[in-house]
């Protein structure tokens, strides 16, 4: 979930000057964060088979953790990160100041 909050902090939420609807923009920091997170997950999966399989297996047996629980944990972390970011974006979009599109202003004024 912390990763989702970090991702949220790297995204700008603003009203579109054309449509007046909430819009988001992110830069390289956001892309690098997601690349690092996905890379870390892939590295853990690879490492659990090729680098630290026996110690991980010993830890899993000692703590009664199944392979399914590890998989579920990785999935839960990914979903929590996406949900934290998505819910945070929705909250930030709701708190944007109201604004009508530039063309709509003229229509409302009878121009």
Report pLDDT digits (tens) over 41-50: 999 999 999 9
Residue 106 belongs to a domain: no
Q: How many domains does the chain contain in total?
A: 1
**Residues 49, 68 contacting (CB under 8 angstroms):** no
The Cα 62–Cα 44 span in angstroms is 19
Q: Is the pLDDT of residue 109 over 60?
A: no
pLDDT, tens digit (0-9, with 9 covering 90-100), for 6-34: 999 999 999 998 888 999 999 999 999 99
Residue 51 belongs to a domain: yes
Residue 111 belongs to a domain: no
Residue 13 belongs to a domain: no
Supply the range of the domain harboring residue 60. Answer: 2-8+26-95
pTM of the model: 0.78
pLDDT, tens digit (0-9, with 9 covering 90-100), for 49-77: 999 999 999 999 999 999 999 999 999 99
pLDDT, tens digit (0-9, with 9 covering 90-100), for 79-100: 999 999 999 999 999 999 987 6
């Amino acid at each position: 979930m912390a990763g989702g909050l970090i991702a949220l902090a790297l995204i700008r939420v603003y009203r579109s000057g054309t449509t007046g609807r909430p819009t988001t923009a992110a830069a390289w920091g956001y892309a690098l964060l997601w690349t690092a997170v996905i890379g870390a997950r892939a590295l853990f999966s690879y490492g659990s088979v090729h680098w630290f399989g026996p110690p991980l297996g010993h830890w899993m047996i000692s703590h009664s953790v199944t392979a399914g629980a590890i998989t579920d944990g990785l999935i839960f972390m990914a979903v929590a990160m996406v949900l934290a970011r998505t819910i945070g974006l929705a909250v930030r979009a709701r708190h944007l100041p109201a604004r009508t599109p530039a063309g709509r202003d003229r229509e409302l004024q009878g121009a």
